[in-house]
Amino acid sequence: MKKIIVISTIFFLFFSCDSKSVNIFEIELPNETIENKKFDINDYKNKSVLLNFWFPSCPPCVYELEILNEINKELDSTSIIGVQVLGLDTQDDGVKMFQNKKILYKSIVDNGDSLVQNFEITVFPTTILFDNKGDEIKRWIGIIDKEKVKKEIASLQTNE
């Protein structure tokens, strides 16, 4: 049992320490939402962004959608953008999930896993906070804690 824990810890540390910090404005994002509406990441310049990688058949991802929707309603200072990863689910599955849960923020599709690769996503859900210049500030792996995320966003606002 101890060997498994040590190997798992080494594996996690190796892969989590090796990730690079990215700027959201330097990555090419889709120009449409999952609902085929216009999307331009440049519309979010000078505003902090919370980017969430998810897919409909991921129970923790689905649970987190409502938390993110609440944050979206409560904080005007930060824009939330979902990134639906295709594979097990279709884009239409994502649209239906957003409609059924009455999710108000936008989501784009990672068609071909280019965003997963560019942002080095290995676990779902993963949520990344970017400052108003587009620089990565914080990354959460797994389900987020609403109050911790709001606190991080608040501290970011005081530093900008």
CA dist., res. 78 & res. 160, Å (int): 12
Count other C-beta atoms under 10 Å from residue 64's C-beta: 22
- Render pLDDT for 44-101 as a digit per residue (tens, 0 to 9): 998 999 999 999 999 999 999 999 999 999 998 899 999 999 998 999 999 999 999 9
Give the tokens for residue 102.
Answer: 């009455």
- Render pLDDT for 102-142 as a digit per residue (tens, 0 to 9): 999 999 999 899 999 999 999 999 999 999 999 999 999 99
CA dist., res. 47 & res. 67, Å (int): 20
Nearest to 54 by CA among 138, 114, 12, 116: 116
Range 21-159 classified under CATH 3.40.50.300: no
